[in-house]
Chains A and B, each alone.
Chain A
Amino acid sequence: MILFHILTPLENLLRDVLKWLGPHGTIGFTWAWSIVALTVIVRLILVPLTVRQIHSMQNLQRHAPQMKEIQKKYKADKKRQQEELMKFYRENNINPASSCLPLLAQFPVFISLYLVLKHFPHLPGDNLEWLGIWNITDKASAGWGPVLVAVYALSQLASSYFMSATAEKSQRIMLLVLPIVFIPFIINFKIGLILYWMTTNLWTVGQGLVTRQLMPRPAAPEKRSSRTPPKEVATAVAAEPATAPAAKPSQPRKVKRKKGGARR
């Protein structure tokens, strides 16, 4: 397919990096650990991007009260709601955390690695095992492969959990179900690819944990309480006083329910 030809440069790059990391290269890892190291390198390159995302997420949290207002105001008209939200982003210099390109960009890397593993650059007699159990050029359905697939699915669940922190509940459930749905397909991949996927998931989990440290706990309750009684924020921002007096904050949790009533 044409797609595969487009990916040839990336495939070659990945192969070269793997060779450099591998048993005959400068670093001298076993092949399996080279794949792990390659994954870490890919994710390290993406760290600046992650930092940006964390920043914009914090920014979003800060503006959550006003955004809630907009969402409430145009509840009936989803289209209008989105447009107003986008306008709000623009006016307040908010950069929404997520975007499509980074998500999509993972696929070329993944497919390229798949192609690399198809014609793996190992020499006869090379050690292809990982932890002495799995052979990276084997299919995941063979031998102990399914165990690794199970570990992968768990890692995917964990990483989805962190990725979906801002998602809605229905989306969250979807994110949690999908890894299990994917298993029948994944079991046909080679162990090396699963190793890559697992490592990248674990990295995401680690990143999520670090992010939680960076965005300290108070942030989450604060978000909840401040968006419900918009008074504090409204006085601070003095932008949306119209709806602000409706909710009188007493205790964050109670007010949350009050919000529904105050809407009338």
Chain B
Amino acid sequence: MRVALRTPAYLGLGLVYLWRCTFGLLSHGSCKYYPTCSQYALDALREYGLVRGSLLAGWRLLRCNPWSRGGVDYAHDQRLFR
């Protein structure tokens, strides 16, 4: 199950890495959360697979806006899925 979960997740992981080594460089260090959004995405994809991981990462990105407070927020501590 876990392996099956992970295989498509590589697609997402690849995209995040692609982002990191292109435009992500420009925005380096500008996340208000810890871990950063891209790290969160990697963690979420690894742990929850492509679909749920992407949803979690997307939700995190939406939360990473000028009106939010930021803070420590690990993918592992998410409350969306159980």
Residues of A whose CB lies within 8 Å of any CB of B are: 49, 52-53, 82-83, 85-87, 89-90, 95-96, 98-104, 107, 160, 167-168, 171, 174-175, 178
A contact face: mostly helix, strand, loop, or mixed: helix
Write out, one digit per residue, whether chain B residues 28-39 have a CB within 8 A of any chain A CB (1) or not (0).
111111111100
With CB as the reference atom, state the residue of chain B lying closest to A53.
B66
Contact B69 A101 (CB under 8 A): no
Whether a CB of chain A sits under 8 angstroms from the CB of B71 is yes
Interface residues on B, range: 20 to 34
Contact B30 A99 (CB under 8 A): yes
**Additional A-B contacts beyond A82-B34, A82-B35, A100-B30 (14; CB < 8 A):** A83-B72, A95-B68, A98-B30, A98-B31, A99-B32, A99-B66, A100-B31, A100-B32, A101-B62, A103-B27, A104-B61, A160-B26, A171-B28, A178-B26
Whether a CB of chain A sits under 8 angstroms from the CB of B80 is no
- Chain B residue numbers with a CB within 8 Å of A168 are 29
- Give 24 CB contacts A-B under 8 Å: A52-B66, A82-B34, A82-B35, A83-B34, A85-B34, A86-B71, A86-B72, A95-B66, A98-B29, A98-B30, A98-B31, A98-B32, A99-B65, A99-B70, A100-B27, A100-B36, A100-B64, A101-B62, A102-B65, A102-B66, A104-B61, A168-B29, A171-B29, A174-B25
The residue that B68 contacts in the complex, of A53, A99, A104, with Cβ under 8 A, is A99
With CB as the reference atom, state the residue of chain B lying closest to A90.
B71
Q: How far is the CA of A122 from the CA of B52 in the complex (A)?
A: 43
